[in-house]
């Protein structure tokens, strides 16, 4: 099982992983996001320090944080680049391209505030060793989240499963990918079949679904993740963040529905269980999805 990997094997795997992420903390006292930006910036700094300490390379595209903060990220071990400002999706793809240019074969996209995930991130790379294209980590529970976010993400994941047959925790956010999976993200610019979906949050939701439709191995692997309590406290019963959850749903779910509707074949997907092995040790049970008969 996962815990059977020894330290030497883990360290070797860590050398093959690069993290891609984006940041934008304006730290404007007049903004409704000020208090949360302070907390989220601290969590991002923690993520970077932890990732660098483990041995991951981490690539950050920043969309306008104060220079003292980006300098702190750099000093903590991140490669930091200025965002283009074109779109949320464009900056995310830039981070992925920079991570891929490092030469490390496995790219992990994650939101920078998910510091508690860093120690479990390696589990998402294990199926990639066995030929998976994209890995979507799956949380055991959403009980540590603000109530509105928990309800929204649970509902949206359920709708996606009902739509496709895939029990993926798509709304968690992090993804891991090899080169073929990376191309699914890089080649998506917010447009599919001539329709533009915004190139916002859809930039990391639509590509895994397109990969599924195109027969790529998109898999689910369980990880231990507990949402930071300080982030939950600042977002709970906060109308600013409740509105953000609504905007995310309105951006992503219509895109997923239409992309799936236009897949070009009938029926859904069914799961098959696989066991990934690393250094001849059974490591992780995960699900792949194939077309149902």
Q: DSSP per residue over 260-272, as a string?
A: HHTSSS-S-EEEE
pLDDT at 23: 97
Q: Which one, of 153, 135, 156, 136, lies nearest residue 144 by Cα?
A: 153
Contacts of 227 (CB under 8 A, 6+ apart): 116, 142, 144, 145
Task: Name the band, by pLDDT with cuts 50, 70 and 90, for residue 21.
Answer: very high
Averaged pLDDT, 157-165: 93
* Count of domains observed in the chain: 1
Helix (H) or strand (E) holding 10: helix 7-14
From the number of C-beta atoms within 10 Å of its C-beta (0-12, 13-18, 19+), residue 15 rates as exposed
135 neighbors 142 (Cβ within 8 angstroms): no
CATH number at residue 52: 3.90.550
Least confident interval from 132-146, 156-170, 275-289: 275-289
The mean-pLDDT minimum among 64-73, 143-152, 159-168 falls in 159-168
In degrees and rounded to multiples of 5, residue 25 shows phi and psi of -125, 100
pLDDT greater at residue 33 or residue 23: 23
Mean pLDDT of the chain: 89
CB 140 within 8 A of CB 172: no
Q: What's this model's pTM, rounded to 2 decimal places?
A: 0.90
First to last CA, the chain: 32
229, with CB counted inside 10 A (0-12, 13-18, 19+), is: exposed
26 is in which domain, residue-wise? 2-291
Q: What does DSSP assign to residue 15?
A: T
Predicted local distance difference test score (pLDDT) of residue 280: 41
Residue 3 scores a pLDDT above 60? no
Lowest mean pLDDT among 124-138, 168-182, 235-249, 263-277: 263-277
Phi/psi-derived region of residue 13, left when phi > 0, alpha when psi is between -120 and 50, beta in every other case: alpha
pLDDT score recorded for residue 277 = 44
What is the rounded distance in angstroms from the CA atom of residue 237 to the CA atom of residue 27? 21
| pLDDT of 112 | 97
Report whether pLDDT(149) > 90. Answer: yes
Q: Across residues 81-104, what is the average pLDDT?
A: 96
């Amino acid at each position: 099982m996962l815990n059977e990997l020894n330290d030497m094997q883990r360290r070797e795997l860590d050398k093959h992983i690069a993290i891609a992420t984006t940041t934008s903390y304006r730290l404007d006292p007049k903004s409704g996001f000020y208090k949360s930006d302070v907390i989220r910036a601290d969590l991002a700094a923690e993520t970077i320090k932890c990732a660098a300490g483990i041995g991951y390379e981490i690539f950050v595209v920043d969309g306008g944080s104060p220079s003292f903060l980006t300098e702190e990220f750099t000093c903590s071990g991140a490669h930091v680049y200025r965002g283009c400002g074109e779109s949320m999706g464009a900056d995310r793809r830039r981070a992925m391209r920079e991570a891929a240019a490092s030469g490390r074969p496995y790219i992990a996209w994650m939101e920078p505030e998910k510091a508690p995930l860093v120690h479990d991130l390696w589990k998402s790379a294990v199926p990639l060793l066995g030929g998976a294209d994209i890995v979507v980590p799956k949380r055991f529970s959403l009980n540590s989240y603000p109530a509105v976010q928990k309800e929204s993400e649970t509902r949206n994941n359920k709708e996606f499963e009902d739509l496709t047959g895939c029990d993926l925790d798509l709304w968690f956010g992090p993804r891991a990918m090899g080169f073929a999976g990376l191309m699914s993200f890089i080649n998506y610019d917010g447009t599919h079949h001539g329709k533009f979906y915004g190139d916002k949050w859809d930039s990391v939701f639509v590509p895994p679904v397109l990969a599924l439709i195109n027969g790529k191995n998109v898999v689910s692997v369980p990880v231990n993740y507990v949402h930071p309590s300080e982030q939950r406290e600042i977002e709970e019963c906060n109308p600013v963040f409740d509105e953000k959850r609504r905007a995310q749903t309105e951006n992503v779910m219509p895109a997923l529905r239409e992309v799936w509707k236009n897949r070009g074949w009938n029926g859904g997907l069914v799961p098959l269980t696989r066991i990934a092995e690393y250094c001849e040790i059974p490591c992780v049970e995960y699900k792949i999805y194939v077309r149902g008969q």
